[in-house]
Amino acid sequence: MPDGVPFRTHNRSVFSPRFGLAMEGHQPVIPLGRASIGAPAAPARAWARERLTTTPGRLVLVSILVVAGAVCFGVIATAAERSRARAAQAARAQTEPLLAQAVTLYTALSDANASETTTFLTGGLEPQARRAHYLQDLRLASDSLTTLTREVGGSADARTAVATISEQLPLYTGLVEAARADNRQALPVGAAYLRQASALLTTTILPAADQLYTTEATRLGDDYGSGTATVALVVFALAAVAALTLLIGAQLYVARISRRVLNVPMLLATLVLAAVSVWTLVGLIAEQNALARAQRDGSDAVEVLSATRVLLSRAQSDESLTLVNRGSDETDPQDLSRVIGVLAPRGGLIGEVAALSKRTGTSRYADQLASDFDSYRAEVAQSASLENGGQPAPIGLAVSANSAAIAGRLSANLAQQSEAAETRFTGAAADATGSLSGLSLVIPIATVLAAALALLGIRQRLSEYR
């Protein structure tokens, strides 16, 4: 190492414009004639030898390294930030809203069926409110279907599901209207039309809605996965440490050959790089936490609540159809007890709602839900003769007003909790995307600035050799 040479005197004797140095410095070193004598690789070898053996050469090499390191840092930081931001943004603005649409479609269709079958059993003229409820459900379902048709994306399963629902829904409503028309004339064939309508819904339309729901829920899960992946964080941290190490190492080297401890531009470059690293790190962690919160407190609850709504509607339909079909078909009460078992407050969906609500401080609603569900189960057991020792149930014991009222309370409670969960999701998802805001600009600017400052610092030393 030629560290002992007094560079400053040597430097002073030479004057040349600062920024032309690198080119002018190395061009004369390559004698043109040598290319024709030696191997074709010779000029390159000479160039490399000069970089490695002379101090200015080494400085040029260091500046190349520092720039490359900065570029690598910028690329990695941007990639990490982009992958997180894209996922968080997709979850917030795309997949979760689509999941919400799929949920609306699913719950509205289930509820429409429950509403229609219950109306049939109340006897007499159908209450205006129930009819309005059914029509409102259909409107909600159609609106969601329109949105899903437009935005369902590339999944073939989801497109098939949307097509199935679009084709079958008019048939369903047609059968329901046929049932109503017969019912208005007190013809029992109305019940058969209603059964056919209900069967079409439960065997064709709802499975398609379920398929859509599953697709959207899985897509959201994937977005959560990439939006909270620790790999991005770790890789970024390693890149930041590597870049800072490189920069500090370069400063130490430059300080050693120049005998000056402080190189202000390089120090500034280090500070800029450190600052942007910390900012990015904090942003990534905040985004990760906010997105995890969006999932845990928001969309997890939305999913569990919506499944509860769907299954409660199914229980209501079963309860009504048990009575419509009594005397000829025993599958509805079997399905009913199955669904009630899946909902169960202990170990079932309602239990899961309670567990989730503890985290979000909404236990009051969940407790009310569990106690209402217990009374609903008791009512259902009575009217559908689930637990009366196999005694045939008396005719005319239609879905009791009591049971309908409890079901209404349950579904209002669930709707309220879903809305609250949706709000929690929106807030947390906005926090997630907000934590990364500005970084997509700051990272490249800071990287370029740091690289420029470092170059400037090295160049100051390099200029001392001319």
Sites for another protein among residues 394-413 (CB under 8 A): 394-396, 398
Is the separation of the CB atoms in 432 and 294 below 8 Å? yes
Task: Return the structure tokens found at 59.
Answer: 């400085």
Q: Using CA atoms, how far apart are residues 462 and 55, in angstroms rounded to an integer?
A: 9
Query: In the bound complex, what is the minimum distance in angstroms from residue 349's beta carbon to another protein?
Result: 5
The residues, any chain, with a CB within 8 Å of residue 192's CB and separated by 6 or more, are none
Is the separation of the CB atoms in 316 and 407 below 8 Å? yes
Task: Please choose, out of 11-19, 147-155, 389-397, 440-448, the segment that lies near another protein by the rule CB under 8 A.
Answer: 389-397
Query: In the bound complex, what is the minimum distance in angstroms from residue 46's beta carbon to another protein?
Result: 19
Query: Between residue 151 and residue 210, which ones bind another protein under the rule CB under 8 A?
Result: 182-183, 186-193, 195-196, 202-203, 210
Query: Between residue 104 and residue 123, which ones bind another protein under the rule CB under 8 A?
Result: 120-121, 123
Question: What is the torsional sign of CA 212, 216, 219, 224?
Answer: negative
Size of the residue set binding another protein (CB under 8 A):
83
Task: Please choose, out of 14-22, 147-155, 156-164, 340-348, the segment that lies near another protein by the rule CB under 8 A.
Answer: 340-348
Query: In the bound complex, what is the minimum distance in angstroms from residue 195's beta carbon to another protein?
Result: 7
Give the DSSP letter string of 363-387: HHHHHHHHHHHHHHHHHHHHHTTSS
The residues, any chain, with a CB within 8 Å of residue 128's CB and separated by 6 or more, are none
Query: In the bound complex, what is the minimum distance in angstroms from residue 17's beta carbon to another protein?
Result: 29
- Integer Rg of the chain from CA: 36
Task: Return the structure tokens found at 398.
Answer: 């239609």
Among 30, 46, 67, 229, binds another protein (CB under 8 A): 229
Instruction: Rank residues 242 and 430 by Cβ distance to another protein and give the closer one.
Output: 242
Instruction: Rank residues 297 and 464 by Cβ distance to another protein and give the closer one.
Output: 297
- DSSP class of residue 4 equals T
- DSSP class of residue 124 equals S
Instruction: Rank residues 187 and 282 by Cβ distance to another protein and give the closer one.
Output: 187
Query: In the bound complex, what is the minimum distance in angstroms from residue 83's beta carbon to another protein?
Result: 6
Reduced to 3 states (helix: H, G, I; strand: E, B; else coil), residue 147 is helix
Instruction: Rank residues 253 and 279 by Cβ distance to another protein and give the closer one.
Output: 253
Query: Between residue 296 and residue 335, which ones bind another protein under the rule CB under 8 A?
Result: 300-301, 303-304, 306-307, 310-311, 325-331, 334-335
Among 63, 228, 417, 418, binds another protein (CB under 8 A): 228
Query: In the bound complex, what is the minimum distance in angstroms from residue 221's beta carbon to another protein?
Result: 5
Task: Please choose, out of 30-38, 48-56, 229-237, 449-457, the segment that lies near another protein by the rule CB under 8 A.
Answer: 229-237
Q: Is 352 in the site for another protein (CB under 8 A)?
A: yes
Instruction: Rank residues 420 and 464 by Cβ distance to another protein and give the closer one.
Output: 420
Query: In the bound complex, what is the minimum distance in angstroms from residue 447's beta carbon to another protein?
Result: 14
Is the separation of the CB atoms in 339 and 333 below 8 Å? no
Query: In the bound complex, what is the minimum distance in angstroms from residue 64's beta carbon to another protein?
Result: 8
Instruction: Rank residues 101 and 228 by Cβ distance to another protein and give the closer one.
Output: 228
Task: Please choose, out of 3-11, 23-31, 236-244, 442-450, the segment that lies near another protein by the rule CB under 8 A.
Answer: 236-244
Query: In the bound complex, what is the minimum distance in angstroms from residue 265's beta carbon to another protein?
Result: 22
Instruction: Rank residues 7 and 78 by Cβ distance to another protein and give the closer one.
Output: 78
Among 7, 172, 224, 425, binds another protein (CB under 8 A): 224
Task: Please choose, out of 67-75, 268-276, 363-371, 373-381, the segment that lies near another protein by the rule CB under 8 A.
Answer: 67-75
Task: Please choose, out of 51-59, 213-221, 441-449, 458-466, the segment that lies near another protein by the rule CB under 8 A.
Answer: 213-221
Instruction: Rank residues 223 and 464 by Cβ distance to another protein and give the closer one.
Output: 223
Query: Between residue 131 and residue 150, which ones bind another protein under the rule CB under 8 A?
Result: none
Q: Using CA atoms, how far apart are residues 397 and 381, in angstroms rounded to an integer?
A: 12
Q: Using CA atoms, how far apart are residues 223 and 46, in angstroms rounded to an integer?
A: 52
Q: Using CA atoms, how far apart are residues 149 and 153, in angstroms rounded to an integer?
A: 9
Q: Using CA atoms, how far apart are residues 300 and 422, in angstroms rounded to an integer?
A: 10
Q: Using CA atoms, how far apart are residues 308 and 345, in angstroms rounded to an integer?
A: 11
Among 13, 19, 391, 441, binds another protein (CB under 8 A): 391
Instruction: Rank residues 147 and 214 by Cβ distance to another protein and give the closer one.
Output: 214
3-state secondary structure 396-458: CCCCCHHHHHHHHHHHHHHHHHHHHHHHHHHHHHHHHHHHCCCHHHHHHHHHHHHHHHHHHHH
Query: In the bound complex, what is the minimum distance in angstroms from residue 314's beta carbon to another protein?
Result: 8
Say if residue 402 is exposed, middle or buried (CB neighbours under 10 Å; 0-12, 13-18, 19+): middle
Give the DSSP letter string of 63-121: HHHHHHHHHHHHHHHHHHHHHHHHHHHHIIIIIHHHHHHHHHHHHHHHHHHHHHHHHHH
Among 5, 44, 68, 132, binds another protein (CB under 8 A): 68
> Virtual CA dihedral for 274, 275, 276, 282, nearest 10 degrees?
100
